[in-house]
Structure 1
Amino acid sequence: MGKIVVIGSANFDFTQTGTTFPEQGRTVLASNSYTSIGGKGANQAVSASRLTLQSRVHFIGVIGNDFMGNAIIDVLKTENLDISSLRKVNGISTGNALIFIDSDKQNHISVDIGANSLCSAEEIFCFSKMSSEVSVVVLQQEVPIETNYKILKEAKAKNVVTILDPGPPSDDVNQYPDYFQLVDFLTPNLYEAEAILNRTIKKGSEIDAAKEIRKLGPKNVIVTLGDKGIATAGEISGLFPSPKVKSIDPVGSGDCFNGSLAVKISEKCELSDALHISQLTAAISTTKFGAIKSFPSISDLKNYEFNQ
């Protein structure tokens, strides 16, 4: 099995939970609050690392030289993760996010990408140096699209499997007509899928939407639908319900899914098994508060399946 490389964002998250998201000019009282490490890149890297027995997950990204960046390093050092290519820079803050979770367990998120915006030539070079040893690379869109595109091109040339989380949506993608054609697994949530298609996806038409997105070039499309499951098109097409759990916090569950998918693809699992395990992993993560804090390990998965 080759290395898994995750290239992307690392953020410091400030989270509140409450009944309703405050409207303009209104102040509401939160029922709970906490800080945690996040960012799609860091989340996916930790998710993958907890599901591997060997230290073969590398995280490449950029953080600021501040208390938030130091907190990220402190957390990632405790994971089974190589962060030697995590670059610290001066003059710009670490990426950070404000998250509000309402009583319907829906997320409202605002992100300052900060130092993530500097993910560029140096990070591309880091990936290029190790690409011959890599089996899967995972990308998101909280870093410059140009960086993603160049890494996708490099990965395609080296036969590295690519997983792209197209969030947040970006018009910069339009500058690269073959952007999605370089992707093996495209994993938008429903909002991101609608942004790609530039239209609303009606309930019950999720599979058709996945098939329509696939016409843009990716080999496989997996639209994540939260507790409704996933809609897929490609090697496997269909609607797959999510495992039933007592969900309390969905933050990071999509990242957890992608991290698990990367591991199972690198292990040459059948895609049906990879999707099932990744759905289960993501569902379990929603039963605890926080993103990284909630991601299950191999033993957590085994214990969950044993107790069912």
Structure 2
Amino acid sequence: MVRLLVCGAINWDITCFVKQLPVLGQDVPVKRVLRVSGGTGGNVAVAAARILGFKEVALVAALGDDEIAQRQLEILNTEGVITEGIQIIPGEESGQAYILVDQAGQNVIASCLGANAKLQSCYLNHSSVERLLRECQGVVLTDPPLDIATKLISLAKQRGIPVLWDPGILLSERWEVIQPLAKQADVLFLNEAEVTVLLGSAELDTGWQRLLALGFRNHVVFKLGARGAAMFEPATGIVIEAPALPLKALSLDVVNTVGCGDVFAGVFAAYHVMGSSLAESLIMASAAAGFNATRLETRGSPDRATLEHIVQHSRELGFMVRERKLSKSR
């Protein structure tokens, strides 16, 4: 029986590794090209499946009627992701992403949405998708079309299924449109750049205070990259902070940060539906995202046994959550 349902994009990633990212008008040599499966929905589903196990995670998404689609389905099936919720859309190309990664692992991405943008809310009425929704214990949304996100949140709420949402590119829509939906998610994920743009500050306590002022009462997780992650519990006013994985102490180096946020969301959701506390889910997600950054491929997340071994060893190095009360607004 499926435990987690994921909805979001599937892309074919063409990743070019360069010494430094080009400035406007600059031509830079490419040292290596990697062509792999990616996309936020696919990445989250695979990361979660590596924790939960074979045929425990289902993906609702769209692919084109092209060769890429068949390769994507084969890869997802090999990873143990349930693919019956993926729609093939005639006359459309499958999604693709063109990525530049510099020697520090930082990146810029340009995406061709293709079939991802053509997934329609009526598809959620299909019997296969309805069955997956009835069975699942959690829903993770990334960046499906907004009407899909709206309907899935509504359906999950009707069934009492927790919703975890990492809206990503959807935040380019009007914030006043996204806000009411974002407040309905049980857990909302935002990265550091999104926090700064939406809330006007990268300072954590200022961000939490502004979310409270906007009426957010759900758990909100800030993904902070090299600084780890932090989560605010509005009911208690407690901030739970997880450090980044101590890579240097583990003799690991950052090589590619693409997909790390997706791994974070997928692993957090997996531990959440397994019954782990939110604090434990947070530390496992931070560790998995850090490990992913040390791999060349977009989907470099570890399986459960490997991840828990890494976390156990890292705790001896001080890798653990810290709780504190939210600072009062000034």
Structure-2 residue corresponding to 1:73: 73
Number of equivalences: 302
Distance 1:40 1:123 in 2: 19
Native 8 Å contact 2:101 2:108 kept in 1: yes
User: After superposition, what is the alpha-carbon deviation per residue over 1:140-191, rounded to whole angstroms, capped at 9, x for unaligned?
Assistant: 12x2111101111111111111111120122255336521121111111111
User: 1:1-308, aligned counterparts within 5 Å?
Assistant: 3-126=3-126, 127-141=129-143, 143-168=144-169, 169-172=171-174, 174-175=176-177, 178-197=180-199, 199=200, 201-202=201-202, 205-214=203-212, 215-217=214-216, 219-234=218-233, 236-245=238-247, 246-292=253-299, 294-305=300-311
SS in 2 for 1:188: strand
Contact 1:3 1:56 in 2 (8 A): yes
Question: Which amino acid is 1:170 matched to?
Answer: S
Runs of at least 4 residues off by over 6 Å: none
Give 2:245's aligned amino acid: P
Query: Structure 1 pair 239/63, CA: closer, same or farther in 2 (3 Å)?
Result: same
Task: Look up the SS of the partner of 2:82 in the other structure.
Answer: coil
Instruction: Render the CA deviation track for 1:243-286: whole Å, top value 9, x for unaligned.
Output: 11122111111111111111111011111111111111111111
Q: 1:183·1:217 contact (CA, 8 Å) conserved in 2?
A: no
Listed one character per residue, the Cα deviations across residues 41-66 of structure 1 (whole Å, up to 9, x for unaligned) are 00000000010135221011000111
Q: Do 2:2 and 2:132's aligned partners in 1 also have CA atoms closer than 8 Å?
A: no
Once superposed, what is the RMSD of the aligned Cα atoms?
2.0
For the residue of structure 2 that corresponds to 1:50, the secondary structure is helix
Unaligned runs of 5+ in 1: none
TM-score using structure 1 length: 0.91
Inter-partner Cα distance in structure 2 for 1:232 and 1:19? 34
Aligned CA distance change for structure 1 residues 206 and 92 (closer, same or farther; 3 Å): same
CA displacement, residues 65-122 of structure 1 (integer Å, 9 cap, x when unaligned)? 1122222112112011110111111211111111111233211011111100112224
CA distance in 1 between partners of 2:50 and 2:160 (Å): 25
Instruction: Tell me the percent identity.
Output: 24
CA distance, structure 2, for counterparts of residue 154 and residue 229 of structure 1: 32
Change (3 A) 1:134 1:172: farther
Q: Which amino acid aligns with 1:251?
A: V
For normalisation by structure 2, the TM-score amounts to 0.85
Larger Cα-atom Rg? 2
* Partner deviation per Cα, 1:12-57 (whole Å, 9 max, x = no partner): 0000111222223221101221111110000000000010135221
How far the C-alpha of 1:2 sits from its partner, in A, is 6.1
Separation of aligned partners in 2, 1:257 and 1:232: 13
Does the Cα contact within 8 Å between 1:14 and 1:36 map onto a contact in 2? yes
| Unmatched tracts of structure 2, length 5 or more | 248-252, 315-330
Further displaced range: 214-223 or 41-50: 214-223
Moved more, 148-157 or 126-135: 126-135
- Is this contact kept in 2: 1:12–1:97, CA < 8 A? yes
Q: Is the 8 A contact 1:249 1:288 kept in 2?
A: yes
Query: What's the CA shift for 1:296?
Result: 0.7
